[in-house]
Structure 1
Amino acid sequence: MSSQAPQSDPRADSAPPSFISMRQRLDYSLQLLGMPGKGLRLLGGLLLLGWLASGIYRVEPDEQGVVLRFGRWVDTTSAGLHYHYPWPVESVQLPKVTQIKQLKLANLYESGPADAADPREKQMLTGDENIVEADCAVFWRIKDAGQFLFRTNKPEEALRITAEGALREVISHTPIQASMSNRRQQVAEETRSLIQQRLDAQQAGILITQVQLQRVDPPAAVIDAFNDVQRARADQERARNEAQAYSNDILPKARGEAERIRQEAEAYRSQVVNLAQGEAKRFDSVYQTYAQAKDVTAWRLYLESMDDMLKKASKVVIDGTGKNGAGVLPLLQLQDKPKSGGKENR
């Protein structure tokens, strides 16, 4: 009976010594675990498990996950842990969606060679058929990463064209004076709303956060004449305001003075009428008394008249015979009159 020597594996003979030692250690470990001859299967299972685990990905709070299947966009995921089919079936892009970016139309107008730039590109027609040059800054961020990357070709270029068209449209129905002064904020807000509406219609995946209207001026060739017109309008407005202020000051005073005169006249009329009515009633009363007792009434009227006259006299002449003098003198209330010109009245 003859014994046959074991044949060596030719692949093991050609393998490097480090690989052979590693394989021997792996075979020894598998024999200890009771799994001899299953090294390749275990290695293949580990590789398969690692390949499947590579489909796990994490989306940060400031990101959105864009899942591509064989290069085609199939899903958009929010922040958190997610899973997709491992490469090469699917892949993930993680663009930042909270970063605010800025687009300045003024820089775009001025870009390019100086000789090729046309200054009329910045000119816009206002609602009252004037020409202005308007610049604005558009602040935006990504709203939907999938739409931003795959729905629109060159989304930033589309944003520039859309912003320029929206600004021109808003300026076209706004008077020049309003767009340069009191309605600047309203023009910026209308432009932002119009840009957002058109981007949503295009599914651009862009959110406009703010539009700042930086400059609205007449063209440089006519700015001096325009400033003269504005100064003339300002002078006109100032003169109108001064006239209005003078009117507001004078008219109330004139109305008050007229009302005072009217009230004084009314009071004087009432006073005169009342006095006249009182005199008329007194005369009627005296006449009624006279009709009943003529002699007594006539004598009483005579005495009252004489009493009124004697009150104003400084000296009284009395009958020298003294008749009835004793009865008259005690009743007289004579007062000395002041001297006139240093001489006594005689």
Structure 2
Amino acid sequence: MAWNEPGKDKDPWKNDDKKDDQGPPDLDIVLQKVSGLFGGLFGKKSSNGGGNGSGSAKFLIGAVVAVLGVVWFISGWYTITESDRGVVLRFGAYHSQVEPGLHWNPKFVDRVIPINVEAFRTMPTTGFMLTEDENIVQVALEVQYRIVAPEKYLFSVTNADNSLLQALDSALRFVVGHSSMDDVLTTGREVVRQQTWELLDKIIAPYDLGIQVVDVNLQQTRAPEQVKDAFDDAIAAQEDEVRFVREAEAYEREKEPIARGQVKRIEQQAQAYKEGIILKAQGEVARFNKLLPEYEASPEVTRQRLYLETMESVLNNSSKVLVDNKSSGNITLLPLDKLMSNAANNVTKAAVVSEIETRSKADEQADLDERALSSERLSGSSRSTGRSY
């Protein structure tokens, strides 16, 4: 049978157990119950008289609050590494700085920003710049720095890295603008680097960035592409000049000690020769001074002895032997050098002496024969003279 059959006043959405009809809950009633619950938590009595429900709600909310408190306390612990320093912000304002280690801060009240103060950071810059002699060069430079004051690095300026980059560009362009192109490209690179470093320190000092510049490296300096080949040739020539000068200096350093040693050796030899000649002359003078009394006592004997000693010393260095044969009046030349060379080929000293004696006897015999012949000629001539008379 259908529920809307005639004669039947029965609504299927109604509960038969209840006398009064019950519709959807009213929003005002729900708000009243919630306000009564929270009012009970803060010491107010509920108008509905639900004591058991209010106690359980209080316990539940207390447990939730306790759990949230534990979570809040645990989440407040943090660690700062050895290379970092922690900058503490309390309600967004700088409060303090913490050292490495384990720390606690109230969550949602303090905020900690770790900053690495030991790492070296790098910032490059490059660009085309105008030199003092109105030429354009391309310069690439790199600066290395580290953070020494984290709170100043974060709050002295809006962006410390950007401020450093602008200061670096300004310093580099100023130095390049007061240098010639040749200095920037070749010999003055170190001067440009040093002046840029000094000027950069002066520019960032008033801003108090909390940054320390560690090094400035001039990486690349070159001319524009249109004239690059010509400048490369010029730079190569200058490098060759420097290399040749270094090689010449190395050669000089190598040869100079040798030459000085030779000069010293020659000087010492000359000094030794000088001293030897002086000593020898002094010895000769002393010897003649000793001979003078003997010469005065017997001049002829002393003169003859000096002559013989002198001739002995002179002829001692000669390889020729002269034999004076007084009987014949001839001087015999003995090739002693050849005889000595033969003696070196198994000719003994006795053979040499025998040869000398044989030649001496032959010379004497020839002398005797010549005298005999002369006597016969004299006797023959006297006979012919007597016959003529």
The TM-score normalised by the length of structure 2 is 0.50
Q: Deviations over 1:146-199 (max 9, x none)?
A: 2222211221111113334566788879xx889968996x98788668756765
CA distance in 2, matches of 1:43, 1:304: 145
- Native 8 Å contact 1:162 1:195 kept in 2: yes
Equivalent residue, structure 2, for 1:259: 268
Say if 1:302 and 1:167 are closer, same or farther in 2 by CA, change over 3 A: closer
Give CA-to-partner distance per residue, 1:246-278, whole Å, 9 cap, x none. Answer: 554445324423432342243123213311331
Q: How does 1:196-235 map onto structure 2 within 5 Å?
A: 199=204, 201-216=206-221, 221=227, 222-235=231-244
Please state whether the residue corresponding to 2:116 is helix, strand or coil.
coil
Query: With CA pairs under 8 Å and 6+ residues apart, which has the higher RCO, 1 or 2?
Result: 1
- 1:10-89 aligned within 5 A: 13-14=29-30, 42=62, 53=73, 56-61=76-81, 63-79=84-100, 80-84=102-106, 87=108
Distance (whole Å) between structure 1 residues aligned to residue 78 and residue 323 of structure 2: 127
The answer (yes or no) to whether the contact 1:199–1:205 under 8 Å persists in 2 is: no
Deviation per residue, 1:9-46 (Å, 9 max, x gap): 9779537x9x9xx99xx99xx969x9688569848975
Q: Is the 8 A contact 2:185 2:222 kept in 1?
A: no
Q: 2:122 aligns to what?
A: 102
Measure the CA separation in 1 of the matches of 2:218 and 2:265.
50
Residue 289 of structure 2: aligned partner: 280
Aligned ranges 1:112-261 → 2 under 5 Å: 119-120=128-129, 134-164=139-169, 199=204, 201-216=206-221, 221=227, 222-239=231-248, 241-242=250-251, 245-261=254-270
Taking a change above 3 Å as real, the CA distance of residues 10 and 214 of structure 1, as seen in their structure-2 partners, is same
Paired with 2:325 and 2:265, the residues of 1 have a C-alpha distance of 53
The answer as to whether partners of 2:139 and 2:221 remain within 8 angstroms in 1 is yes
* Count of residue correspondences: 286
Alpha-carbon contact 1:59-1:81 (below 8 Å) kept: yes
Is the contact between residue 88 and residue 95 of structure 2 (CA under 8 Å) also seen in structure 1? Answer: yes
In structure 2, distance between residues paired with 1:342 and 1:132:
104
CA contact (8 A) 1:145 1:205 kept: yes
The aligned amino acid for 2:113 is L
Q: Is the 8 A contact 1:218 1:226 kept in 2?
A: no
Q: What is the DSSP-based 3-state SS (H/G/I as helix, E as strand, rest coil) of the residue aligned with 2:157?
A: coil
More moved, 271-280 vs 72-81: 72-81
Q: Deviations over 1:34-82 (max 9, x none)?
A: 9688569848975995798599352432554433344333333334323
Separation (CA, whole Å) in 2 of partners of 1:268 and 1:303: 27
Q: Which amino acid aligns with 2:163?
A: A
Cα pair distance change 1:263/1:183, threshold 3 Å: farther
Q: What is the rounded CA distance, in whole Å, between the counterparts of 2:103 and 2:136 in structure 1?
A: 55
* Structure 1 pair 100–263 and aligned structure 2 pair: CA distance change class (3 A): closer
**Rg comparison, structure with higher value:** 2
For 1:314 and 1:92, locate their aligned partners in 2 and report how far apart those are by CA, in whole Å. Answer: 130
